[in-house]
Structure 1
Amino acid sequence: MWKYSPSRDNLILLLLIAIVIGLVTGILAIGFRYLLLLTTGLFWPDPQAMLEVNQQYPWYLVVAVPVFGGLLIGPLICRFSPESRGAGVPEVIEAVVTRGGAIRHTTALFKTLFTALSIGCGASVGREGPVVHIGSSVGSSLAQWIKLPVEWKRVFLACGAAAGIAATFNAPMAGMLFAAEIILVDFQVRYLSHIAISAVTATVVSHKFLGSFPTFQIPSYELVSYAELPLYGLLGLLAGLLSVLFIRSVSAAEDLFTRVGVPFQFRPAIAGLMLGLMALGWPHILGVGYETINQALTAKMGIALMAVVLLLKLVATAGSVGAGFSGGIFAPSLVLGSLLGGVFGASAGRIFPGEMGTAAAYSLIGMGAVVAGTTLAPITAIFTIFELTYNFEIILPLMTCCIISLVTVQKIYGYSIYETKLLRKGVRMVRGRDVNLLRTMKVGDYMATDFETVRQDMVLGEILEKSEKSHYPHFPVVDSEGRLVGMLSMSDLRSFLAQLGDLSNLVVASEIMTKRVIIVRPDDHFETAFEIFEGKQISTLPVVARNGNLVGILKKSDLLLAYNQTILKINVLDKIGGKK
C-alpha cells in the first residue's frame, strides 16, 4: 500500500488523485441527473412540464402526488437513514469539523435516493445537496483507502464537493470556491490546486454529456448607469432580510412539527399536502424551481405573480426541509433571489423608467445576493453568477449587492443556514486551523493513567499522611467499585488542620470532598477541555467513562504540551514539504 509522505513525487500523485475524484464525481453527478428524470417521471408523466401540472392533471392528483411521495419517503428515511433529512451540505461540513473528513458512505447513497424521490414528487428542495454529498464521499473514500492523514482527508472531501457543484452548474470556479468558503472550515491556499483540478475535471465530464450551455436562460446584462448602484445596494439589503427570514423559517417549521408532536415518518406527508394545495394555483413552487428562475430571467412573470410565488416558495421550502424531505437549499435560494430581484427591478423600473436595467437583470443579481445571505459565502455567490454570464459589467453591482446582503445577515442573525442546522445539532462550526486541530485530539489519547485516588471512607488522618507523601495537589475520591464520587484538594483540607487531633479518626473523605465535580470523557476532544480549563480556572480534570468509573486524569499542563508538540510537528512537515 502506498504511504503518504510530503515529497514532490507524492504531491504529483495527489494531484492525479484529485483528477480521479473529479472524474468519478462528474460521472455520478450526471447519473444523478438521469435518476431525477426517472423518479420525476414515476410521479408525473411529463417531468418537463412541472409548471403546467395544474392544467394537465385533475386537482386531486396534483394534491395526492406530493402526499403520496411524503408517505413513501417519511418511513423510508426513518427506517434506513434518519440523517438524510434536509440539506446534505451541513452533514459534509460536520464530517470536516468533527470526524476528520470521514464520510459515512451509506448516508451518501441514501441521500441520493431519497433526494431523487423527494424532488420527483414535488418537494421544494435543491438537487445540489446530494451531489455535494456524493462527491465528498468519493473523495473521503479514496483518502481513507490510501490511508492519508486527516488533513488530506478533508482536502479530498472538499475536492469532491467542488466537483459536485461544478458538474451541477457547469461552473468550475463556483465549485472551487464553494468548497473553499463553505465546506473547508480551515482553508489553505496550497490546497487550491487540488480542489481546482477536481472542479475542472468534473466540468469537462458535464460538458461531454450535457453540453457547455449554462444551467439557466441568461439575459444580456448592462449596467445602465453608476446611479443604479444605490438601487443594487437596496436590493442587497432586502436580500439579506429575506435570507434571515428564510433561515429562521426553516428552523421554525422544524420546531413546529416537534412542538405539535407529529411523528417523523408522517411529517413529509403533511408537508406534501401543503405543497399540493399551493400547487393547485401556483405550480411554480414544486420541485427544484429552475423553470421558475428561467421565467423570471426571461421576463415571463408579472410583478404580482412573482411576489406571490416568492412568498409561497419560501413557505414551501421551509415546510419541505423542516418536515424532513431530503434535498438542498442552494437551489431554493437561487429561486427566491431571482423572484425578489424580479419584483424589485420591475417595481423600480416603473418609478425610474428608462434610467435603469431590466427586471431580468435585477433578477440575475438577486440570485447571487440571496445565496450570499443564506450561505454567508459571498465569493461563491459572485462567481456562480459571473460564470453564468461571463460579463464583466455585472461584477460591480453583483459585489455591491452580495456584500450588503452578507453584512445584513451577519448583523441581524450571524449564522448561515448551514451553520444554523449544525448549531441545532450541537456542533459549533469555528473557522481556523487551531480549532480544527483541537477537534482531532481526543482526551483519552493524552490523559494520564498513573494517578492516586482516595477512598470515600478514608479518615482525615490517613488522607493527610497520604498527601504528605504524594506530589499530587488533587485526589479523586472513588467508591468501592472505582466510580468517581468527588474531588479532594489541599484547600478542602486546610480548614481541618487546626482540629486535626480531634477529627483525624472521625472525619472521612466523603464529608469534606467537593461533590460537584467537572469531568471530561475519554472521547471528548481537546476543544472541550480547553474551554473548561479557561472558564473554570482549574488545573486538573478527572476523566470518567460512561459507566462512572475513573479512567484517567487530564492535566492542563499535559494538554498544552501535547497541543504544542502537535503544532510543531505539523509546521516541520509543512516546511519539509515546501522545500522538496
Structure 2
Amino acid sequence: MATTERLIKDITRERRFHFRLFIEGIIVGIFAGCVIALFRYLLGASEILRPLIYNMVAESFQAGDYSLPLLYIATFVIIGWLLMKIVQNEPMCTGSGIPQIKGILMGRMNMRWLSVLVSKLIGGVLAIGAGLSLGREGPSVQLGACVGQGVSRRFIRTRYEERILMTAGSGAGLAAAFNAPLAGVIFGLEELHKSFSPVLLMASITAAVTATTVTQVIFGAGPVFHIGDLAIFPLNMFGILILLGAFIGLLGRIFNPSLLFSMNTYDRLGLSGIKRPLLPLLLAAALGFILPDILGGGNRLVDALSHNWYPLYFLIILFVGKFLFTMVCFGSGVPGGIFLPMLVLGAAGGAVFGSVLASFGVLPYIYVGDIIVFGMAAYFAAVVKSPITGSVLIMEMTGSFHHLLALICVSMTAYLVADLTGGKPVYEELLNRAIRLKEKAHGIGASSSGRRIALELVVSSGSVVDKVLIKDIKWPEQTVVVDIKRGLQRINPMDDARLYAGDFVYLLTNDTDISILKEMIEKESTPKR
C-alpha cells in the first residue's frame, strides 16, 4: 500500500519528481564518472605496462635467464586463480554485465550492487589488463548501473525510481567509458529500458552528461579513437556503403552463434575452477610474443589501422585472430565485455573491404579510413541490432560528426542483412542463455524474486491493450493500474477507462510479470487473419 501511495505521489507531483531525478542524475553521474575514470586509468596503465613486460621477458629468455619467464607464467596463473575466486564469490560479475542489467530491469535477476561493483572493477582490470580480448564498455555499463542502484538504496527510493536510476547509471557508464554522452543516453533507451518517458530522459541525460564531464576533466575532451580528420565521403559513392553494409552484416551474423558455441564448449568440456580463466590467459601470454596487436580491448589497433598501411593477408590474420581470441576469452566467463572487440572486428573487416576495393581502383585510398570507421558502426548494428546507438556511438568516438548520414546508411544495411538472415540481438541471446542456465540449476522461476514493483509502460499502437477498456484486459494476477497519463492529462484508472496508443500506464505488479506486461503493452500484436 505504501508503494502505491508513493508512486501516486511521485506521478501527481510531476515537477517535484522531475527535479528530484535531475539532482539524483547528477549524483549518479558524479559517482559513475569517478568509478569509470578509475577503471579507465588502470586499464590504460596496463596497456602501457604490457609491452614493456613482453620485452623484458623476451630479453631475459634470449639471454638464457629463465627466472623472469617463469615468474611471467606464474603471474598469469595467479591472475587466473584470482579471477576464479572473484567469479565464484560474485557470479553476477561474469561476462559483459549488460545482459545482467537487462535481466534486472525485466525483473528476472537480482544484484548486490556493492559486491558487484567491487568484483567487476577488480576482475575487469585483471582480465583486460592481462591482455584478454575483452572490452571495458560492458563492465562500465554494469558499474554505472551499480552506482544507480546504490544511490536509489541510499535514498530509499521505490523500485520504479530505482529502475530509472539504474538505466541512467548504465548510460552514464557507457558515456564515461567512451566520451559519448549522446550514445549513452540512446543506449539506455534503445537497448536497456526499451521505452521512452520524460522522467527517464531527465535522469539519463543528466547522468550521462555529468559522468562524461568528470572523465573529460581527467582524460581530456578528445574522442576515444584518434582517427584524425577524415575526408567527406561523396554521395555518388554511397553504393559502396551498401556493399560494405552487406559484407560486414554477413561477418557480424556469425558472431553470435560463435559466441554461444564458445560458451557451450567450455561447459561441454567440463572446464571449471581455475582451468576456465587459465586457458585464455595462457593463450594471451603466448600471443604477446606472436601477435600482440589482438590483445586487450583493441582501441589502439583501430588507431593503427586508420594511420598505417597493412598488406591484405595481415589484415585477414588480424580479423581472424581477433575473432577467435575474443570467442575464447568471452566464453571463459571472466569479467569483460564484447562491445570494444566488436568495434575492432568491424574496423578490421572494413580495412579488408577498403583494401580490396582500393587495390582494384574502385575506391580512392583517401576514403579507406572512412570505410574503417563505417565498418565499426556496421558490425555493431549487425551484432547488437541497435543501428541508431551504433551510428551515434561511432560518430562520438571518432569525432566524425560530418558522417552521420553515411553511418546510418551502412548501419541500417548491416542491420537488415543480419535480420534477414535470422540474426538476433547478442545481449538478448546472452540474457536468455543466462536465464535458462539459472532455471536449470535452481528450478523454474528461481530467477525471479516475486517482489512488488512499480512500472511505467507506454501503450504501443496496435498492442493488445490499445483501444481496450481496463476491465476487459487480462492483467497478470495481482497487477493494479495505478494511474494513466495522456499528454498533460491524468486519466482516472477506473474499470471503464480506455487505453490508447501513447498513454503512459503506471502499474503495481510482481517483478515476475514485467516481461509479460511489456509484451502486452509495448509490442504490436500479430493481426488476426
TM range, normalised to the smaller chain? 0.7 to 0.9
1:185-196 correspondence runs (5 A): 185-196=194-205
The equivalent of 1:433 in structure 2 is: none
TM-score with structure 1 setting the length = 0.71
1:529-568 correspondence runs (5 A): 560=474, 566-567=480-481
By how many angstroms is 1:63 displaced? 8.1
Contact 1:288 1:332 in 2 (8 A): yes
What CA deviation, in whole Å up to 9, does each residue of 1:371-412 have, x standing for no partner? Answer: 112211111111112123444541222111111111222222
Q: Secondary structure at the match of 1:328?
A: coil
Amino acid at match of 1:282: L
Alignment CA distance shift 1:562-1:369 (3 Å): closer
The equivalent of 1:292 in structure 2 is: 301
Amino acid at match of 1:265: I
TM-score with structure 2 setting the length = 0.77
Amino acid at match of 2:410: C
Amino acid at match of 1:248: P
Contact 2:130 2:284 in 1 (8 A): no
The equivalent of 1:11 in structure 2 is: 18
Alignment partner of 1:212 out of 201, 218, 221: 221
Alignment CA distance shift 1:317-1:440 (3 Å): closer
The equivalent of 2:440 in structure 1 is: none
Contact 2:32 2:169 in 1 (8 A): yes
Is 2:38 the partner of 1:31? Answer: yes
Alignment partner of 1:106 out of 90, 115, 123: 115
Please say which structure displays the higher CA radius of gyration: 1
The equivalent of 2:185 in structure 1 is: 176
CA distance in 2, matches of 1:273, 1:253: 17
Instruction: State the percentage of identical aligned residues.
Output: 25
Alignment partner of 2:260 out of 228, 244, 251: 251
Alignment partner of 1:313 out of 291, 316, 322: 322
Q: Secondary structure at the match of 1:569?
A: strand
What CA deviation, in whole Å up to 9, does each residue of 1:91-139 have, x standing for no partner? Answer: 1111111259865431222111111100111111011122211111111
Alignment CA distance shift 1:440-1:272 (3 Å): closer
The equivalent of 1:304 in structure 2 is: 313
CA distance in 2, matches of 1:236, 1:54: 42
What CA deviation, in whole Å up to 9, does each residue of 1:28-61 have, x standing for no partner? Answer: 11111233356x38xxx82466897896674957
Amino acid at match of 2:474: L
Amino acid at match of 1:219: G
Contact 1:223 1:393 in 2 (8 A): yes
Is 2:334 the partner of 1:334? Answer: no
The equivalent of 2:92 in structure 1 is: 83
What CA deviation, in whole Å up to 9, does each residue of 1:456-494 have, x standing for no partner? Answer: xxxxxxxxxxxxxxxxxxxxxxxxxxxxxxxxxxxxxxx
CA distance in 1, matches of 2:380, 2:431: 18
Alignment partner of 1:394 out of 398, 403, 406: 403
What CA deviation, in whole Å up to 9, does each residue of 1:501-542 have, x standing for no partner? Answer: xxxxxxxxxxxxxxxxxxxxxx9xxxxxxxxxx9xxxxxxxx
Q: Which moved more, 1:404-413 or 1:352-361?
A: 352-361
In the comparison of the two structures, how many residue pairs are matched? 454
CA distance in 2, matches of 1:574, 1:266: 58
Amino acid at match of 1:19: I
Amino acid at match of 1:567: V
The equivalent of 1:414 in structure 2 is: 423
Contact 2:32 2:144 in 1 (8 A): yes
CA distance in 2, matches of 1:287, 1:237: 28
1:373-452 correspondence runs (5 A): 373-426=382-435, 442=450
By how many angstroms is 1:355 displaced? 4.3
The equivalent of 1:343 in structure 2 is: 352
Is 2:287 the partner of 1:282? Answer: no
Q: Secondary structure at the match of 2:10?
A: coil
The equivalent of 2:77 in structure 1 is: 68
CA distance in 1, matches of 2:476, 2:171: 34
Gaps of 5+ in 1: 429-438, 446-522, 524-533, 535-556
By how many angstroms is 1:250 displaced? 1.4
Is 2:156 the partner of 1:143? Answer: no
Please, what is the CA RMSD of the aligned residues? Answer: 3.5
Alignment CA distance shift 1:417-1:293 (3 Å): same
Alignment partner of 1:167 out of 176, 179, 191: 176
Contact 1:54 1:279 in 2 (8 A): no
Alignment CA distance shift 1:33-1:561 (3 Å): closer
CA distance in 1, matches of 2:436, 2:317: 36
Q: Which moved more, 1:331-340 or 1:406-415?
A: 406-415
CA distance in 2, matches of 1:268, 1:47: 19
By how many angstroms is 1:222 displaced? 2.5
Q: Which moved more, 1:348-357 or 1:323-332?
A: 348-357
CA distance in 1, matches of 2:55, 2:390: 30
Contact 1:243 1:374 in 2 (8 A): yes
CA distance in 2, matches of 1:66, 1:178: 37
Q: Secondary structure at the match of 1:216?
A: coil
Alignment CA distance shift 1:159-1:352 (3 Å): same
Q: Secondary structure at the match of 2:474?
A: helix
Q: Secondary structure at the match of 1:425?
A: helix
Alignment CA distance shift 1:37-1:349 (3 Å): closer
CA distance in 1, matches of 2:334, 2:417: 29
CA distance in 1, matches of 2:137, 2:405: 27
By how many angstroms is 1:295 displaced? 0.3
CA distance in 2, matches of 1:155, 1:389: 29
CA distance in 2, matches of 1:233, 1:82: 42
The equivalent of 2:131 in structure 1 is: 122
Contact 2:357 2:363 in 1 (8 A): no
CA distance in 2, matches of 1:558, 1:126: 48
Q: Secondary structure at the match of 2:207?
A: helix
Alignment CA distance shift 1:55-1:440 (3 Å): closer
CA distance in 1, matches of 2:348, 2:480: 50
Contact 2:10 2:17 in 1 (8 A): yes
Amino acid at match of 2:96: A
